[in-house]
């Protein structure tokens, strides 16, 4: 049995965060473990309450999992603030967790912040160097680099600039760029690779980032090479978007069974 760990926030609505990650791990036949970083009172309409957990408790959860159920791959999602980022980076190093997928979550679907602005520096300095892959969307990449990304050329430059921050690979997601297709760029030391998928017109987009990064993490836990994991996870995300269930009155969840 392969094991994956998610270090992320709780979404009471079940469409994103730890809940989405565990559903995705199960879908891929991987045993899911978790370390909660924060708790949201949330539904498809937005975040009603947010509570950050103590960094020492986040560290302790990772330690408990690592010492008894050593994960074959791990991911991070919403991390809340710089102190939690630092606790996670320390635990990842101490317990040798990897491959590590870092999804640099900054805001929830409706725009509610899930990472303090001053934590962006800690994310870049402490966690990115430990990552096998980071998976920013356009808005997150702009915040990380402090520069706008409007075209595919600018996205290519941004992906290379993010790679220079220390992760082994960067998946810059193009879902927020204009165009018929959703083009994601994978930057590795070997170069750039584009992954294209149809753009799915749907309101059910809550948890797309979590779902993709969790699928990649599950596939890495199963031993897939990075490029294969990214391609398979993207195909799964498209199916999950196309078959999303009509739940909630806002941005509904995806179909994690897809
Ligand atoms: O999809 C980003 C995300 C991550 N983590 C939690 C969330 C969300 C989006 O809503 O709620 C807990």
Active-site residue flag, 207: yes
Q: For a ligand 1 pocket test, name from 15, 35, 176, 207 the mutation site with the most ligand atoms within 8 angstroms of its C-beta.
A: 207
Q: Which of 174, 210, 234, 252 is catalytic?
A: 210
Closest by alpha carbon to 7, among 140, 184, 127?
127
Residue 120 near ligand 1, beta carbon < 6 Å? no
Q: Ligand 1 mean position to 246 CA, how many Å?
A: 19
pLDDT of amino acid 89: 98
- Give the per-residue SS3 of 178-234: CCCEEEEEEEECCEEEEEEEECCCCCCCCCHHHHHHHHHHHHHHCCCCHHHHHHHHH
pLDDT of amino acid 200: 86
Task: Name 117's Cβ contacts closer than 8 Å, sequence gap at least 6.
Answer: none
pLDDT band at residue 18 under the 50/70/90 scheme: very high
pLDDT band at residue 202 under the 50/70/90 scheme: confident
pLDDT of amino acid 201: 84
Q: Which of 17, 174, 175, 209 is catalytic?
A: 209
Is 80 exceeded by the pLDDT of residue 177? Answer: no
Closest by alpha carbon to 88, among 118, 110, 66, 106?
66
Q: What is the mean pLDDT of residues 224-253?
A: 95
Is 90 exceeded by the pLDDT of residue 111? Answer: no
pLDDT of amino acid 39: 98
Rounded Cα distance between 32 and 30, Å, is: 6
Task: Give the number of other CB atoms < 10 A from CB of residue 80.
Answer: 24
Q: What is the mean pLDDT of residues 122-148?
A: 97
Q: Ligand 1 mean position to 109 CA, how many Å?
A: 7
Share of the chain above pLDDT 90, in %: 90
Is 70 exceeded by the pLDDT of residue 175? Answer: no
Task: Name 10's Cβ contacts closer than 8 Å, sequence gap at least 6.
Answer: 17, 18, 19, 36, 38, 39, 40
Q: What is the mean pLDDT of residues 97-117?
A: 93
pLDDT band at residue 204 under the 50/70/90 scheme: confident
- In this predicted model, what pLDDT tens digit does every residue of 33-77 receive, in sequence order? 999 999 999 999 999 999 999 999 999 999 999 999 999 999 999
Q: For a ligand 1 pocket test, name from 39, 49, 114, 214 the mutation site with the most ligand atoms within 8 angstroms of its C-beta.
A: 114
Mean of per-residue pLDDT scores for the chain: 95
């Amino acid at each position: 049995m392969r094991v994956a760990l998610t270090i992320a926030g709780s979404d009471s609505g079940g469409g994103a965060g730890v809940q989405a990650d565990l559903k995705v791990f199960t879908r891929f036949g991987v045993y899911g473990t978790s370390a909660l970083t924060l708790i949201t009172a949330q539904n498809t309409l937005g975040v009603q309450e947010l509570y950050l957990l103590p960094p020492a408790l986040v560290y302790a959860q990772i330690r408990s999992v690592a010492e008894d159920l050593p994960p074959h791959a791990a991911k991070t999602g919403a991390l809340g603030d710089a102190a939690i980022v630092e606790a996670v980076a320390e635990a990842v190093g101490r317990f040798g967790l990897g491959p590590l997928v870092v999804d640099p979550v900054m805001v929830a679907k409706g725009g509610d912040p899930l990472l303090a602005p001053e934590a962006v520096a800690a994310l870049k300095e402490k966690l990115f160097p430990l990552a096998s892959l980071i998976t920013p969307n356009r808005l997150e990449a702009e915040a990380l680099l402090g520069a706008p990304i409007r075209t595919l050329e600018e996205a290519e430059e941004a992906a290379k600039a993010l790679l220079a921050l220390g992760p082994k690979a960067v998946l810059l997601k193009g879902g927020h760029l204009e165009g018929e297709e959703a083009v994601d760029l994978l930057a590795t030391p070997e170069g750039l690779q584009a992954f294209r998928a149809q753009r799915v017109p749907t309101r059910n987009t809550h948890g797309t980032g979590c779902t993709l990064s969790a699928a990649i993490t599950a596939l890495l836990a199963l031993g897939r090479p990075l490029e294969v994991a990214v391609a398979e996870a993207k195909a799964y995300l498209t199916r999950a978007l196309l078959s999303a269930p009509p739940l909630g009155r806002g941005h509904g969840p995806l179909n994690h069974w897809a």
